[in-house]
Structure 1
Amino acid sequence: MRSAASVLGLQVSLLQSGMGGVAGSELACAVSNAGAAGCVGGYKLVGGALSAILARLTAGTDRPVGVNLIPEVVGPEELDRQVAQVLDETPSRVHLSFFGMPDDSVFDRVNVAGRQVVVQVGSVQDGVHAAGRGAVVVAQGTEAGGHLLGTSRRDDLVGALRTLLPDACLVASGGIGSPEEAARALAAGADGVLLGTAFVVAHQSRAHAGFKSAVTAADRTDTVITDVYEIGWPGRRHRVLATAATADPGLPAKFIGRTVVEGKPYLVPRFSAAVPTEATSGRIEEMALYCGRSCSEINEEVSAADVVAAFARVLPGAEPVKTNERAESHVG
């Protein structure tokens, strides 16, 4: 067993989910500057838009940090372009994080470049394969918010993978909203944890204010697993806060809002997979409010550094972490 802190060069074995739209460079840098692994959401960005966010990321922190890419939403050719940009435009302390399994050729390319790889999986088969390619394996349980990669509960998946992979670095994801829940994941066999929902409500998150308020007011029973938010990301179930859209999938898929991504405007249709960000307007309450069962333990907006500090006392490799005002002000 190797802690995520030792493998990725962190103070705390804590990873932040690279949530597209929500996890911009501000959040990723704040998390990394606090001693954990921040991660910017690359989603479908490529070319100049991806270059812009990579530039802000590398200017905002000199610590280990990641870029999250999603093989199944962009396809092999576009993913190849994204990977090439990350490798070409960032220093070696920037690792690549994949939501779902990339092709073996992608592992080969990243490994040859000497970069760390993190892969989030939802099955034992994918976890074993990713570990065999040298990746830090994030085991996502169905308690997690957002798109679901499998059907197993978090601790069941972690335990099964630990049995088969005694020496791998395993990170638990799903339903972790408190240090006590993190400790339970460690007891199941994890070497660290990944948090998503807890960082949605961080001050540095780009989530829309209405999205943040909905998460802090929610209980785990307010979340549902559905597949209605499929425009832009078909074929996946996802855990979200219950909305009018989840209650009535027969509603028309008309435009219900507008948003801006890296300076480019977009219309937002009902049932879009896109999350409402601070640049989004319209019927926020009907949009994809991705939220894990951890929301029962998340009741207020705090800084990213405060989230890291709260979990640092129970996680491997943890050292006392204090809110670093100078570091936070350095975020680009």
Structure 2
Amino acid sequence: MRPTVAAALGVEVSVLQSGMGGVAGTELACAVSEAGAAGCVGGYKLLDDALSTVLARVTAGTDRPVGVNLIPEVVGPDDLDRQVAQVLAETPPRVYLSFFGLPDDAVLDRVVAAGRRLVVQIGTVEDGVHAARWGAVVVAQGIEAGGHLLGTSHRDELVAALRALLPGTCLVAAGGVGSPAEAARALAAGADGVLLGTAFVVAHESRAHGHFKTAVTAAGAADTVITDVYEIGWPGRRHRVLATPVTERPGQAGKFIGRTVVEGKPYLVPRFSAAVPTDATSGRIEEMAMYCGNSCGALSEERSAADVVAGFASVLPDAQAIEHVKGMNSHGR
């Protein structure tokens, strides 16, 4: 019998939180983990002291399993190797590594050899089969997802195709999951749990800018578009965002439209930047990249991370596995 997500990651509820760069800070990751699900902090391009600061905060903020999300195609192989080395050296074994996109085999070997739990988000059947060879929890991302898109398949089609080829692999569905009913549909397609991104963008603990949160809760799926205009910092990858004046008029000049701060360092934000507007961002927020999945139609208000997790717990597998994990945790996490 294949493991549930809860058993595979040592948590109580088979919900993974997307490690969204900028939005998924340590407050959100720790709140999700404290609620019994798998929280995840966005590592994005952080290195050296900046990454060490984040790792120290997330490990101090919860004694439960929590993840660090890294993006191979954004940082390149050398910096990814440095990021992985830092995570392995500076965090306890309960911290799992999550990759958005398939890293090189040597990276997967290194994580597995270190005894860490491994999560890999993919957008194609080929990449999912490859990641499964390392015993990864495979996150199947459909085009319903907000943010950068790793493939061209719909969520349930990709899940079903992977389940047929990988009967013993722990599969997670990502994309368009904003309600328990939608999670149940993903489970029926063959998933063992769900990854939530947009639902956590509007969590109290999210670092998304207030305008971003309000825009998500006011939107429906028809208000999102798939585009490639927000390419500065992350070129060559389509992304689903809320429609903005920039997506409607992509021929505008690429001038600076705002400022932001990342781990204490100030940055200018150009039009077409891939950076999301956070609570440390000022300027023309309405023109910035507000990543948003089709799930936004099910999200009408800002909620705590714990309430988000609790809303999905009843439909996710499975009570016996959850009780087993609770028993394990009671003997020391």
> Structure 2-normalised TM-score?
0.95
Corresponding position of 2:328: none
Structure 1 segments of 4+ aligned residues over 6 angstroms from their partners? none
How far the C-alpha of 1:316 sits from its partner, in A, is 1.1
Q: Does 1:93 pair with 2:94?
A: yes
Corresponding position of 2:159: 158
How far the C-alpha of 1:317 sits from its partner, in A, is 3.4
**1:315 and 1:90 mapped to 2: Cα distance?**
29
- Paired AA for residue 238 in structure 2: R
The within-5 A match list for 1:6-21 is 6-21=7-22
**1:131 and 1:112 mapped to 2: Cα distance?**
15
Corresponding position of 2:34: 33
Corresponding position of 1:256: 257
> Structure 1-normalised TM-score?
0.96
How far the C-alpha of 1:2 sits from its partner, in A, is 1.8
Corresponding position of 1:207: 208
The within-5 A match list for 1:61-72 is 61-72=62-73
Corresponding position of 2:317: 316
Corresponding position of 2:54: 53
How far the C-alpha of 1:218 sits from its partner, in A, is 0.3
Corresponding position of 2:329: none
In 2, are the aligned partners of 1:6 and 1:317 still within 8 Å (CA)?
Answer: no
2:240 aligned counterpart, secondary structure: strand
Corresponding position of 1:74: 75
In 2, are the aligned partners of 1:11 and 1:317 still within 8 Å (CA)?
Answer: no
State percent identity of aligned pairs. Answer: 78
Corresponding position of 1:329: none
> Alpha-carbon deviations, 1:115-167, whole Å to 9, x = none?
01100000000000000111100000000000000000000000000000000
The within-5 A match list for 1:138-157 is 138-157=139-158
Q: State how many pairs are aligned.
A: 320
| Structure 2: 5+ residue stretches without partners | 324-333
**1:134 and 1:235 mapped to 2: Cα distance?**
29
**2:152 and 2:4 mapped to 1: Cα distance?**
25
**1:54 and 1:32 mapped to 2: Cα distance?**
15
**2:135 and 2:70 mapped to 1: Cα distance?**
17
**2:70 and 2:51 mapped to 1: Cα distance?**
11
**2:3 and 2:148 mapped to 1: Cα distance?**
27
How far the C-alpha of 1:296 sits from its partner, in A, is 0.3
Corresponding position of 1:276: 277
1:43 aligned counterpart, secondary structure: coil
Corresponding position of 1:327: none
The within-5 A match list for 1:105-144 is 105-144=106-145
| Structure 1: 5+ residue stretches without partners | 321-332
> Alpha-carbon deviations, 1:214-241, whole Å to 9, x = none?
0000011000000000000000000000
How far the C-alpha of 1:204 sits from its partner, in A, is 0.2
1:118 aligned counterpart, secondary structure: strand
Corresponding position of 1:188: 189
**2:85 and 2:250 mapped to 1: Cα distance?**
39
**1:177 and 1:169 mapped to 2: Cα distance?**
21
